[in-house]
Amino acid sequence: MMTRMKHLLSTKDLDLEVVDRLFLRTEKLKRLRGILSREEKILQGHVVAILFWEPSTRTRMSFELAAYRLGAGVLELHPKESSVIKGETIDDTVANLHSIGCNFFVVRHPTSGEVARLAATQGRDTYFINGGDGANEHPCQALLDAFTIRERRKTFDGVRVAIIGDILRSRVARSNLHLLTRLGASCVVSGPKELLPKELEVGGVEIEKDPAQAVKNADVVMVLRLQRERAGITFDMTEKEYHEKFGLTAKLLQTAKPDAMVMHPGPINRGVEIDSDVADGSQSFILRQSENGLFMRMAVFEALRGELG
């Protein structure tokens, strides 16, 4: 039976059978380097609209390339250069793009829940992918991160993942915690107290004030950027102070397992949350995450089309 999902909005309620199929398909697409025959390009005749209300490099570019690889036409809207500036709502923008033939929408928006709201209100033949909504979720990032861990570790059972940084404002942390705990990994988060939630909505996650304790014996150390662009929190630590206390240095990494994977969704701020020798070192999977992201995004489009065998 074909595995199908209507939209990709969150990892919280993503069917684990679908996740498994996505892993297998991503593996296959990676072996093929994403190059498909004419018959296999299942988005031919379709148009994917990429609507990003926030800056992006990896997510936007790899969704665009994934859509091209599957034969789609791609339209990219830059809200600041569009009729949004003249007062058009996001709903009217989407409806107008739909009327000219777009039915796949990859959306990034600063408001949590905005992509799910659009998915619930737009027509039946529209498919939405959440490219990051506020501090809420970033499901494709978590899928590609989980794929990267699985590729290396083969299993999630007994895998200890430490996520260090701006947990409170990170959609990457939230989506990863939902997915990785459901897959069987054990997760711990650490960061400055202002950037740590009092409690997490995801069960079974340790909250550790001391980054050295969190990193100790970790199989994976995932580092996150300080998201200063998100308002609402008083956090006045300088970059230097942050680096001293929470930056992933070679010394801090030594407390993790000897072959621990270093991950970061990007963009990295060298010398702040991570040192260059760690980011570019032999344990770094940062560029592997980007590489895998292209194939995972192709698999996600296929799953939305119901083509994931």
The residues of the shown chain that bind ligand NCD, judged by CB under 6 A, are 58-59, 132, 138, 141, 171-172, 225, 227, 265-266
Q: Name the residue type at position 136.
A: N
Minimum CB separation of residue 107 from ligand NCD in Å reads 13
Residue 273 to residue 277: CA distance in whole angstroms: 12
Q: In what order do the strands lie in the sheet with 261-263?
A: 206-207, 186-190, 160-164, 220-223, 261-263
Q: Please write down the HEC assignment for all residues of 55-74.
A: CCCHHHHHHHHHHHHCCCEE
Minimum CB separation of residue 58 from ligand NCD in Å reads 5
Minimum CB separation of residue 297 from ligand NCD in Å reads 12
Asked if 42 and 302 count as a contact pair (C-beta separation under 8 A), the reply is: yes
Q: Please, which residues bridge with residue 221 across strands?
A: 162, 262
Which is closer to ligand NCD, CB of 19 or CB of 173?
A: 173
Which is closer to ligand NCD, CB of 227 or CB of 249?
A: 227
Q: Is the Cα torsion angle 292, 127, 181, 27 positive or negative in sign?
A: negative
Which is closer to ligand NCD, CB of 144 or CB of 215?
A: 144
Q: Name the residue type at position 184.
A: G
Asked if 141 and 175 count as a contact pair (C-beta separation under 8 A), the reply is: yes
Which is closer to ligand NCD, CB of 211 or CB of 266?
A: 266
Which is closer to ligand NCD, CB of 47 or CB of 143?
A: 143
Minimum CB separation of residue 232 from ligand NCD in Å reads 16
Minimum CB separation of residue 59 from ligand NCD in Å reads 4
Residue 192 to residue 166: CA distance in whole angstroms: 8
Minimum CB separation of residue 181 from ligand NCD in Å reads 19
Kind and range of the H or E element at 50? strand 47-52
Which is closer to ligand NCD, CB of 17 or CB of 229?
A: 229
